[in-house]
Amino acid sequence: MTQPPKGVRRSYGVKAAPYGFLLPAAVLFALFFALPIGYAVWLSFHKVRIKGLGLGKGAKTEVWAGLENYTSALADSELLASALRVLGYGAIVVPVMLGLALFFALLLDSERVRARSFARLAIFLPYAVPGVIAAVLWGFLYLPDVSPFHYLLDKAGLPQPDLMDGGPLYLAMSNIAVWGGTGFNMIVIYTALRALPTEVYEAAKLDGCSELQIALRIKIPMVVPSLVLTFFFSIIATLQVFNEPTTLKPLTNGIPSTWSPLMKVYSDAFTGGNIHAASATAVVLALATFALSFALLRISNRRTTQGAGR
Amino acid sequence: MTGLASPKLRKAAPAAGSTPGTPQGPPPAAGRKADGPRRTALLPTTALVLGALYCLLPVAWVLVAATKADDELFSTFTFLPGSGLTDNIGELTGYRDGIYWRWMANSVLYAGLGGVLSTVVSAFAGYALAVYRFRGREAFFNIMLAGVLMPPVILAIPQYLLMAEADLTDTYASVLLPLVLSPYGVYLGRIYAEAAVPMELVEAGRVDGAGEWRIFLRIAVPMMSPGLVTIFLFQFVAIWNNFLLPFIMLGDDEKFPMTVGLFTLLKQGASQPALYTLVITGALLAIVPLIALFLLIQRFWSLDLLSGAVKS
């Protein structure tokens, strides 16, 4: 490969090279993405039949189940409840997180704001903290015996809410996601802001526009593509929430083991031991994610083609 | 939703300039940019600093809490430093023959090795997608990107079952291998290769008789290196933060990464609160390496690269 003597061999090398470079990725994709997905789909259409007492080898066989697993998955009220919980959670997390990310990104992009490099690093810092550890930290901050909030409320003689149950739990959980996710999204939006040509708002400044006007009327419309992108990924990440509620669970009785849809899949598969039902639920969730992503992409494509490119 | 609706905001925000957030001088001052430092915008700066403090709060808390002895944790004011940091670290180190440090070493191994392998695979694939025109290029890229959308549990359950078939569960490989291919890494690899490797140089290399592999190693890799560092960091953080896959794959706690180890410790703490001090100290020590890493590379590397930004 290093010393191709003839043109013929070289052009062969050029033709074959991309496939060679793609080989590791393709093999890994086949083994760890395509095969598991295919297997999950296969499982979802099968069930276990037990012969006799179910003892001994060959007593359990997998037989075709048709849509049985799917109908029971869709009829499962726990799945619906978990989906609703996560939708409620997402309705808090996504707008608050992206709103803050955009707000901070605009502040970072403003010349007259101080402490920008400090703030940029500080707000980004939670990205380096694993979700599990973030949940541990906040979990302790929510515990009445440890929490500074409860301490202050106590001193002020005010009632202390239980942050780990009922309605406040949504806020407590959302707070962890907002804390962890704002920084990364802020960086994405800030990068887009810095890539804008400065002439555009120099002209606006000469015309006497304030920074706020420039932000609202020029900057935000021009970074719509990255807002769509962050929105898209935030929604998907939110629907897939698993680590944080799982970690908080030992600290409270307010979180059932089926709090989020993925926790439901996990507990069906590993606690309940019913991998076939769990696979069906998982496939339903994947399809729902795809449908949602597709819809969002269509909307965003219509937006971005009329706005700035890329 | 904000982003989707924003083009319409143009018309909807006419008198925005009068908001207190912008103590801007009269228009003439706005045009002069060069003379002297600009006045500080007080309110926006305050907002930004408050945001920063909010993000630092839990970190500051764990820093203080880790200094508290068992009895101080539940009795003294949250932000009052205690007296037991070294004791706590000693106790954590002594806990089950130092298994905590084992978890730390495992995390470094998973994230370090996984990050390197992932960077290599992403660089190969990204380079191929950026530089060559070949059949199936876009199809491959799109299928790969669809992988991003796959909920991890959906992959993890069949991955576990398949690993069990291959007798590989509860091994280092079972956690390492599924994480090597990162669709986002391939995406970044393609973007960096497209931006950093000029086709003329590749062609010039071919004219000089260099093989494709050599062109990649000698020309493309050095030019892509800032991007490759970014892919490595991204994957390092992603694997370091991963919980689900090791949680499902591993049973033997000698192989746990930090996240799963601390989780099991917290779970036990629910019945024996004395372990809470260990969890808190462990959480502090677990976030120190990554924060140090980010502070260290600040000088050589820009955060912007993480979102696929390429400087011209």
In a domain, A1, yes or no: no
Q: What is the CA radius of gyration of chain B?
A: 25
pLDDT at A58: 66
Q: What is the three-class DSSP state of A143?
A: coil
| Alpha carbon distance A105, A279 (integer Å) | 41
Ordered alpha helix ranges (H), chain A: 7-29, 35-44, 68-75, 77-108, 116-124, 131-142, 148-155, 166-194, 198-206, 211-214, 220-222, 224-239, 243-248, 261-266, 275-306
Asked whether residue A80 falls in the same domain as residue A58, the answer is no
Asked whether residue A140 falls in the same domain as residue A227, the answer is yes
| Alpha carbon distance B210, A229 (integer Å) | 40
Phi, psi of B26 (to 5 degrees): -65, 155
* pLDDT tens digits for range B173-191: 999 999 999 888 998 899 9
Q: Is the dihedral of CA A303, A308, A309, B4 positive or negative?
A: negative
pLDDT at B168: 92
Q: What is the ipTM of this complex?
A: 0.85
In a domain, A227, yes or no: yes
Asked whether residue A85 falls in the same domain as residue A142, the answer is yes
Asked whether residue A60 falls in the same domain as residue A107, the answer is no
- A243 and B244 within 8 Å at the Cβ level: the answer is yes
Asked whether residue A258 falls in the same domain as residue A138, the answer is yes
pLDDT at B37: 52
Q: Is A66 exposed, middle or buried (0-12, 13-18, 19+ CB in 10 A)?
A: exposed
Domain count for chain A, please give it. Answer: 2
Tokens of A104: 């901070």
Q: What angle do CA A91, A95, A96 make, to 5 degrees?
A: 105
Q: Spell out which residues of chain A touch residue B30, defining contact as CB-CB under 8 Å.
A: 205-206, 208-209
| Structural domain boundaries in chain B | 96-307
The closest of B306, B47, B231, B227 to A226, measured between CA atoms, is: B306
Q: Is B199 exposed, middle or buried (0-12, 13-18, 19+ CB in 10 A)?
A: exposed
Is some CB atom of chain A closer than 8 A to the CB atom of B50? no
Mutation for B interface: A8, A15, A21, A244, most B CBs within 10 A: A21
| Alpha carbon distance B103, B87 (integer Å) | 20
Is some CB atom of chain A closer than 8 A to the CB atom of B186? yes
Is some CB atom of chain A closer than 8 A to the CB atom of B225? no
pTM, full prediction: 0.83
Neighbours of A58 (CB within 10 A): 6
Neighbours of B37 (CB within 10 A): 7
b/e string for A147-169 if b means 16 or more Cβ within 10 A? beebbeeeeeeeeebebbeeeeb
The CATH number assigned to the domain holding A276 equals 1.10.3720.10
- A10 and B206 within 8 Å at the Cβ level: the answer is yes
Looking only at the bridges linking them, the beta strands covering A60-64 and A46-50 are: antiparallel
Q: Where in the sequence is the domain holding A57, given as residue range(s)?
A: 7-64
Asked whether residue A125 falls in the same domain as residue A193, the answer is yes
pLDDT at A11: 61
| Alpha carbon distance B251, B110 (integer Å) | 16
pLDDT surpasses 70 at B64: yes
In a domain, A106, yes or no: yes
Asked whether residue A272 falls in the same domain as residue A218, the answer is yes
Q: Out of 1.10.579.10, 1.10.3720.10, 1.10.645.10, 1.10.10.10, which CATH number does the structure's domain B96-307 have?
A: 1.10.3720.10
Is some CB atom of chain A closer than 8 A to the CB atom of B63? no
Q: What is the three-class DSSP state of A60?
A: strand
Which residue in the set B2, B47, B303 is minimally distant from A227, CB to CB?
B2
pLDDT band at B9 (very low <50, low <70, confident <90, very high): very low
Q: Look up residue A254 and give its amino acid.
A: G
Asked whether residue A113 falls in the same domain as residue A236, the answer is yes
| Alpha carbon distance B73, B80 (integer Å) | 10
- Lowest mean pLDDT: which of A165-174, B55-64, B242-251, B269-278? B269-278
In a domain, A88, yes or no: yes
pLDDT band at B3 (very low <50, low <70, confident <90, very high): very low
Per-residue pLDDT 10s for chain A (310 aa) are 444 444 444 566 778 899 999 999 999 999 999 999 999 999 999 988 877 666 666 667 888 888 999 999 899 999 999 999 999 999 999 999 999 999 999 999 988 888 898 999 899 999 889 999 999 999 988 887 777 777 777 777 777 777 777 788 999 999 999 999 999 999 989 988 988 888 887 888 888 888 888 888 889 998 988 898 888 889 888 888 999 999 999 888 889 999 999 999 999 998 888 889 999 999 998 888 888 878 877 877 776 555 443 3
Asked whether residue A132 falls in the same domain as residue A35, the answer is no
Which residue in the set B47, B132, B266 is minimally distant from A136, CB to CB?
B266
pLDDT at A148: 75
Tokens of B293: 């890493």
In a domain, A141, yes or no: yes
Which residue in the set B38, B154, B244 is minimally distant from A111, CB to CB?
B38
Helix B2-12 and helix A77-108: axis angle, to 10°?
Answer: 50
Is some CB atom of chain B closer than 8 A to the CB atom of A242? yes
pLDDT band at B5 (very low <50, low <70, confident <90, very high): very low
Q: Is the dihedral of CA A121, A127, A129, A131 positive or negative?
A: positive
Q: Look up residue A266 and give its amino acid.
A: Y
pLDDT at B299: 67
- B132 and A148 within 8 Å at the Cβ level: the answer is no
Q: Spell out which residues of chain B touch residue A163, defining contact as CB-CB under 8 Å.
A: none
Asked whether residue A20 falls in the same domain as residue A154, the answer is no
Answer whether A14's CB lies under 8 Å from A1's CB: no
Averaged pLDDT score across all residues of chain B: 82
In a domain, A2, yes or no: no
Phi, psi of B218 (to 5 degrees): -85, -35
Tokens of A229: 């992108």
* pLDDT tens digits for range B95-132: 888 899 999 999 999 999 999 999 999 999 999 999 99
pLDDT band at B11 (very low <50, low <70, confident <90, very high): very low
Tokens of A217: 């009327």
Which residue in the set A104, A112, A289 is minimally distant from B149, CB to CB?
A289
In a domain, A92, yes or no: yes
CA B118 to chain centre: 14
Asked whether residue A109 falls in the same domain as residue A238, the answer is yes
pLDDT at A218: 87
The closest of B225, B219, B176, B171 to B198, measured between CA atoms, is: B219
In a domain, A178, yes or no: yes
Asked whether residue A140 falls in the same domain as residue A288, the answer is yes
Residues 147-166 of B with CB under 8 A from A: 147-155, 157-159, 161-162
pLDDT at B302: 66
Residue of A160 and B252 predicted with greater confidence:
B252
